[in-house]
Amino acid sequence: MKPFPVFLVVLGTACPLLRSEVEEDIPYGIEAVTGLRSAYSHRGFELADSTLDFQLETEVTINNDLSLAAGGWIASELGGQFEEKTGFLELRTTLGDAFTASGLIGYHGYSNSVIRSGFDISGTFTWYADTAWNFSTSIAHDCGAGGWHGELSSHWYKRLSDDAFLSGKLGISGTEDYYGHSGFGDLSGRLSLTYNVNTMLSVTPFAGWSYELRHRDGNEIHAGVWLEVSF
């Protein structure tokens, strides 16, 4: 990767797509996220050590229940050779008062990576149990690997003040013919603290972990910080 200043932050894995708590009555929005993390993994595979990332995403509201998002990100390993360039389109819809669903198509382009470049097609269904908890299931077909990856996850949220909140995630994954692996993948989790500096800017330090249920390249603990601008 290219030499970047060490203290800008990376986007989260898998997907790495962070959203602020800012709510605006406008038909579109743009978010820019930059970050640094101590390690970068994707679906249980560790891809790089300290990594700098930048993401740009926009979302357009089609009607009260439907929206279309588009975006991309680039990631570079500090002092290493790994690079990732990704773009995506995602259609999102609400289903009643407590459910959402989405479908996404994206392309991941990797350099000096243990996994292959290719298109990724996925779907996600989420149940918002209450204001503090939601539960999701997702399944993806990785065209580069020619295999499948699925995840069940829970998300937790607690507001600390008007400008700060804690959030957490716990998930378990499974694979089918994914780089030679089938069955359970890993248990993963993340804890983060977000502070909204103002209506446009937020800062989020976080820590996460991945525990492999089947041995691949080892368990992982990582930490980092996101800086997000919404406008």
Among the listed ranges 118-127, 143-152, 208-217, which one has the minimum average pLDDT value? 208-217
Most confident segment among 26-30, 42-46, 111-115, 132-136: 132-136
Among candidate residues 92, 149, 93, 100, the one with its CA nearest the CA of residue 120 = 149
The encoded tokens of residue 140 equal 């993806």
Q: In terms of residue numbers, what domain contains 77?
A: 28-230
Among candidate residues 155, 225, 228, the one with its CA nearest the CA of residue 12 = 225
Whether 102 is covered by a domain: the verdict is: yes
Give the CATH number of the domain where residue 184 resides: 2.40.160.40
Whether 150 is covered by a domain: the verdict is: yes
Count of structural domains, the chain: 1
166 close to 158: Cβ distance less than 8 angstroms:
yes
Whether 219 is covered by a domain: the verdict is: yes
Mean model confidence pLDDT for the chain: 88
Whether 177 is covered by a domain: the verdict is: yes
Whether 2 is covered by a domain: the verdict is: no
Whether 8 is covered by a domain: the verdict is: no
Residue 177 has pLDDT above 60, yes or no: yes
Whether 143 is covered by a domain: the verdict is: yes
What is the model's pTM?
Answer: 0.83
SS3 content of the chain, % helix, strand, coil (to 5): 0, 70, 30
pLDDT digits 0-9 by tens, 183-229: 999 999 999 999 999 999 999 999 999 998 876 666 789 999 999 99
